[in-house]
Amino acid sequence: MAVPLSDAWSAVALDSLEDPISVFSLEGVYVSINAAGETLLGKRAAELVGRTYLEVFPELESHPFHEVFRRLSAAKTGIERLEFYYPPMEVWSSQRMQAVSGVIVVEWRNITTLKRAEQEQERTRSSLEREKDRYAALVRATGHIVWTNTSEGEMSGEQPDWCAFTGQTRDECAGFGWSKAVHPEDAQPTIDAWKRAVERRTTFEFEHRLRRVDGQYRWFAIRAAPIMLADGSVREWVGLHSDIEEQKQAAQKLEEARLAAEAGNRTKDEFLAMLGHELRNPLAPITTALQLMRLRGAGILERERGVIERQVNHLVLLVNDLLDIARITSGKVTLTRERLELADVIAKALEISGPLIDQRQQRVSTEVPRGLIIDGDPHRLGQIFANILTNAAKFTPPGGRIEVRGAREGNDTVVHVTDTGVGIAAQLLPRVFDRFVQGHQEIDRERGGLGLGLAIVRHLVTMHGGQVSVFSPGTGKGTTFTVRLPAAGPDGTAEEAPAINPAPRSTGRRVLVVDDNEDAADLLAYALQNIGYQTRTAYDGASALRVVDSFRPDVALLDIGLPVMNGYELAQKLRALVELRPLRLVALTGYGQDRDRDRAREAGFDAHVVKPVDLTQLAALLDEKK
């Protein structure tokens, strides 16, 4: 049986998360569990779904988990967190449990490695601090190394601790002979630091590896101080070597855990990039077909086309949100700033969110006077306000009102977006800008979304040096989002963006379309023919090279994920054909991250376009001269 799009999308999104997640009914019955949860519990979803957690794990009846679950089940709403050690699985777990929409969602986080490393590091650190504060006799009893040096900093006399640990004789460690027991990589840095301390008569503190009598090296922290005479001269130096091998190992484990987490984030980003590519590829021919229908004036199918177009646009926004949040949180988003009229930014945002507002027959009023100049990235600022307006439209009933007001307040440009929607409960307000957080939705999830739009808003506003806040008097009383951005100086005005000529046009330019998705290639070529271009198609690199001999294109649109010879390799081969110069190369691909654009530029492409593409914008790009 086919899976509904929303269910399939939820399953993909749930399984893409690295942390184990289980969904229960209020009676404690497993409803769903993601792949990470199956791995943690060692059981497949088929063994769990339909059974209560007490049937599967009866020992939980006396566990804090059971009490918290019962409390949330009775309340039917709320969030609780608990951290505990679970002996049967020998793991430390951090859990976030939320009752929402008739289910309880439990997010597990296995913190065993981190917990043990922290405990071990804390035990070692506390032990080291205690040992440093004890008298020499107590230190001697613990097996640490106490030693003395002459006023000139050379070792002499009896050194029983040193000799017992290193196996050196009294004569071997005399003078600076002790340095031979120090790890070769640490010996000279230790001597240099020691000589500086002796010369300045200051306390010596250092860390190095010291060879034990059995030949093994261990890390030691060294602390030595001069014993001063009444005339200010140094009588001798007294030092202490404290074993910190376990502390170093604990620190290494923490670093390995950090690197593993970073590797996991990279894996997640790569997965999201591939997910975006795989989703964008089928969206491309669908979008092109819709644009063709509009060009051909298929009036009898206007309603059906409108429905498909809205749903495709919704899917595109979901894909973009997933990829944006990955880029933003990993610090890969950069801003291209320019001076902008706030009124123009709001107009662009209304254009983006307009289809949803029109569909819900909502009234929008704007009071944004011209002359409010801001310095920012036009694309990202438009995204900020489009996300806020889309959120307002989703949570405002049909026929409701949305107001947008802009003003200058001191050194800030302030925008208030107020709606007459369902409002936000007080307990949700502090978390409304967190990732994957959404207001209450009924089981049909009419409002949809992934809970990423407002998280993206907060990140982008912060990158612009601004602040975003939200206020709601309560459920059913509407919401106001306020964005504060630094105001730009009054000198100069924002330039208006050049108008894009609408299709159709007549250029006669020859365009080669190369894509292994035959539907995508044929539809795009046909659409370009309808607005005045001459086109040829090819479905792989070898076919494309054969076509160019007779067709001699002015522009080549190349998919990147071609079989055998990928788009980068094909671009380099086309660049090598002197008879094709000047040929304009455009990468038309589902890969849209910054590194993909950089690689396209290095391969010789003149432009990089992410699927699905607007036909009018593509035409403007094709008309640019090499």
Pair of tokens at residue 216:
């093994």
* Percent over 70 (pLDDT), the chain: 78
**Do residue 218 and residue 279 come from a single domain?**
no
Total domain count, the chain: 4
Q: How far is CA 115 from CA 112, 127, 257, 262, in A?
A: 5, 18, 11, 18
H or E stretch at 317? helix 302-329
Q: Judge whether residue 496 has pLDDT over 50.
A: no
Question: What is residue 625's DSSP assignment?
Answer: -
CA-CA distance, 535 to 545, in Å (whole number)? 15
Q: Identify whether 555 is part of a domain.
A: yes
**Do residue 531 and residue 476 come from a single domain?**
no
CA-CA distance, 393 to 366, in Å (whole number)? 15
CATH of the domain at 352: 3.30.565.10
Quickly state the pLDDT bin for 325 (edges 50, 70, 90).
Answer: low
- pLDDT for position 24: 94
Question: What is residue 495's DSSP assignment?
Answer: P
Q: What is the mean pLDDT of residues 289-309?
A: 66
Chosen domain end from 486, 514, 539: 486
Q: Identify whether 583 is part of a domain.
A: yes
**Do residue 429 and residue 413 come from a single domain?**
yes
**Do residue 304 and residue 363 come from a single domain?**
no
Domain that holds residue 66: 5-110
CA-CA distance, 538 to 536, in Å (whole number)? 7
**Do residue 514 and residue 625 come from a single domain?**
yes
Q: How far is CA 264 from CA 12, 29, 107, 177, in A?
A: 17, 31, 17, 48
Q: What is the mean pLDDT of residues 385-402?
A: 91
**Do residue 361 and residue 482 come from a single domain?**
yes
Q: In what order do the strands lie in the sheet with 363-367?
A: 363-367, 401-409, 412-419, 479-486, 467-471
**Do residue 472 and residue 612 come from a single domain?**
no
CATH of the domain at 140: 3.30.450.20
**Do residue 166 and residue 234 come from a single domain?**
yes
- Neighbouring C-alpha atoms within 13 Å toward the C-beta of 141: 6
**Do residue 207 and residue 99 come from a single domain?**
no
With H, G, I as helix, E, B as strand and everything else as coil, classify residue 549. helix
CA-CA distance, 363 to 354, in Å (whole number)? 11
Q: Judge whether residue 494 has pLDDT over 60.
A: no
Q: Identify whether 496 is part of a domain.
A: no
How many H helices and E strands in the chain? 20, 21
Residues 113-148: pLDDT tens digits?
888 888 888 887 777 666 555 544 444 455 578 888
**Do residue 55 and residue 24 come from a single domain?**
yes
Q: Identify whether 446 is part of a domain.
A: yes
Highest-scoring range by mean pLDDT, 7-16, 307-316, 407-416: 407-416
Is the distance from CB of 260 to CB of 252 less than 8 angstroms?
no
Chosen domain end from 71, 94, 110: 110
CATH of the domain at 566: 3.40.50.2300
Of the chain, the end-to-end C-alpha distance in Å amounts to 51
Quickly state the pLDDT bin for 570 (edges 50, 70, 90).
Answer: very high
Q: Identify whether 263 is part of a domain.
A: no
Q: Which residue has the tokens 């009588």?
A: 235
Q: Identify whether 260 is part of a domain.
A: no
Residues 44-81: pLDDT tens digits?
988 999 999 999 999 889 888 999 999 999 999 999 99
CB proximity list for 464: less than 8 A, separation 6 or greater: 335, 376, 377, 380, 381, 485, 486
CA-CA distance, 382 to 344, in Å (whole number)? 9
Beta bridge partners of 584: 555
Buried b (16+ CB within 10 A) or exposed e, 77-88: eeebeeeeeeee
Q: Identify whether 267 is part of a domain.
A: no
**Do residue 603 and residue 528 come from a single domain?**
yes
CA-CA distance, 473 to 420, in Å (whole number)? 11
**Do residue 329 and residue 341 come from a single domain?**
no
H or E stretch at 576? helix 567-576
Beta bridge partners of 221: 207, 242
Q: What is the mean pLDDT of residues 482-494?
A: 70
Per the prediction, the chain carries an average pLDDT of 81
Q: Where are the alpha helices (DSSP H) in 442-565?
A: 453-463, 518-530, 541-551
Which of 247-256, 364-373, 396-405 has the lowest average pLDDT? 247-256
Q: Where are the alpha helices (DSSP H) in 177-244?
A: 184-200
Determine the distance from the C-alpha atom of residue 227 to the mean position of all C-alpha atoms in its chain, rounded to a whole number.
55
With H, G, I as helix, E, B as strand and everything else as coil, classify residue 439. coil
Chosen domain end from 51, 79, 110: 110
Q: Identify whether 493 is part of a domain.
A: no
Residues 72-104: pLDDT tens digits?
999 999 999 988 777 777 778 888 999 998 999
Quickly state the pLDDT bin for 447 (edges 50, 70, 90).
Answer: very low
- pLDDT for position 144: 78
